[in-house]
């Protein structure tokens, strides 16, 4: 009785193995045609994507758009943004990979590989927001670069030594603001970045206020002193300054011009004429 039960148990076990192997063979046999079809679709899709990329690059070359964008300065801005390829070549690669995403999705669906198909679908759904964010970043970079160059040109023309540094600071803050907008477009939380920007702006404003306050402290004294100097020292007033007889030629907001006897002149801060003893004779 026990031997019969053992034989029955082994027979059932081998039957299950046989059924599993048969099922595996049937699934594999059904999978092969789907895989072959998916490979054919991948090949045809690859050729199609290559054709699209070629059409885009050829169109840019025939229309001369690469040269036009280079003369307009767009190519230089793109290179500074990290895009080393020419605009036509860059767009050709972009169109190629977008087309390949759709091809891979179709092939994975045909081969019933749901994991790959779901990933590609998620990427495709994410693409509109990603493209919008990329365009925001690109336009923002171009605008920030234009403003940076304008600030540098203006400050450099004024002879300020920190023109380049200040222009880079302006560029950095504009780019951070653009980055915040772009990240929000792809649903990335930017509260920490916003808080950091606000702290940096506050610190920069405080530093500028302190530096300007300290830097303009002497100028403010001279301006206030100029108000009193204009009442006291009329044009033509003769005074003795630094041991030399001079004549007041004019009192400005910050400084006073003194004419020397030999025809030369001396520029004196207004504060000196108010805070120090000065001998003189009023103009007739």
Whole-angstrom Cα distance, residue 242 to residue 258?
11
Q: Which residue, 215, 230, 263, sits at the end of a domain?
A: 215
User: Residue 122's pLDDT is what?
Assistant: 80
Strand order from edge to edge, sheet including 238-241: 265-269, 255-260, 244-251, 238-241, 279-281
> What is the pLDDT averaged over residues 20-32?
65
Q: Which residue, 173, 189, 215, sits at the end of a domain?
A: 215
Question: What is the DSSP track for 83-117?
Answer: --S-HHHHHHHHHHHHHHHHHHHHHHHHTT-HHHH
Range of weakest confidence among 102-106, 221-225, 250-254? 221-225
User: Residue 168's pLDDT is what?
Assistant: 81
Residue 90 has pLDDT above 70, yes or no: yes
Residue 2 in domain: no
pLDDT in tens, 50-86: 998 888 888 888 888 777 777 766 677 677 667 777 7
Q: Which residues of 2-19 are buried (b: 16+ CB within 10 A; e: fewer)?
A: eeeeeeeeeeeeeeeeee
Q: Which residue, 188, 215, 242, sits at the end of a domain?
A: 215
> What is the pLDDT averaged over residues 180-184?
79
Which residue, 253, 126, 123, 246, is CA-closest to 186? 126
User: Residue 278's pLDDT is what?
Assistant: 73
Tell which wins on pLDDT, 39 or 199: 39
Residue 28 has pLDDT above 70, yes or no: no
> What is the pLDDT averaged over residues 255-263?
83
Which residue, 131, 143, 215, 219, is CA-closest to 175? 143
pLDDT in tens, 117-154: 788 788 778 777 888 888 888 788 878 888 888 888 87
Residue 185 in domain: yes
- In this structure, are 152 and 72 located in the same domain? no
User: Residue 29's pLDDT is what?
Assistant: 59
- In this structure, are 252 and 210 located in the same domain? no
Residue 67 in domain: yes
Domains identified in the chain, total number? 3
User: Residue 208's pLDDT is what?
Assistant: 58
- pLDDT band of residue 158 (cuts 50, 70, 90) is low
Find tokens 């300007």 and name the residue. 212
User: Residue 148's pLDDT is what?
Assistant: 84
Residue 120 in domain: no
Find tokens 């749901």 and name the residue. 114
Residue 64 in domain: yes
């Amino acid at each position: 009785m026990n031997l019969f039960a053992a034989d029955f148990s082994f027979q059932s076990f081998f039957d299950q193995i046989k059924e599993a192997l048969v099922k595996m063979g049937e699934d594999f046999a059904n999978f092969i045609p789907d895989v072959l079809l998916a490979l054919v679709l991948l090949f045809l899709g690859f050729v199609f994507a290559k054709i699209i990329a070629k059409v885009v690059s050829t169109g840019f070359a025939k229309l001369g758009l690469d040269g036009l964008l280079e003369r307009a300065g767009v190519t230089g801005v793109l290179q500074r943004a990290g895009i080393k390829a020419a605009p036509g070549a860059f767009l050709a690669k972009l169109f190629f990979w977008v087309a390949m995403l759709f091809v891979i999705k179709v092939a994975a669906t045909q081969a019933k590989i749901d994991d790959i198909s779901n990933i590609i679908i998620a990427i495709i759904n994410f693409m509109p927001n990603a493209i919008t964010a990329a365009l925001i970043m690109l336009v923002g970079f171009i605008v920030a670069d234009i403003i940076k160059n304008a600030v540098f040109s203006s400050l450099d023309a004024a002879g300020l030594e920190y023109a380049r540094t200040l222009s880079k600071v302006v560029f950095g803050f504009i780019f951070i603001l653009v980055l915040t907008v772009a990240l929000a477009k792809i649903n990335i939380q930017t509260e920490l970045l916003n808080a950091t920007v606000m702290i940096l702006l506050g610190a920069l404003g405080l530093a500028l206020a302190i530096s300007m306050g300290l830097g303009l402290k002497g100028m403010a004294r001279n301006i206030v002193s100029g108000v009193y100097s204009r009442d006291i020292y009329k044009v033509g007033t003769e005074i003795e300054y630094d041991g030399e007889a001079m004549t007041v030629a004019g009192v400005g907001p910050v400084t006073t011009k003194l004419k020397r006897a030999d025809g030369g002149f001396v520029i004196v801060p207004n504060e000196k004429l108010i805070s120090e003893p000065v001998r003189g004779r009023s103009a007739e």
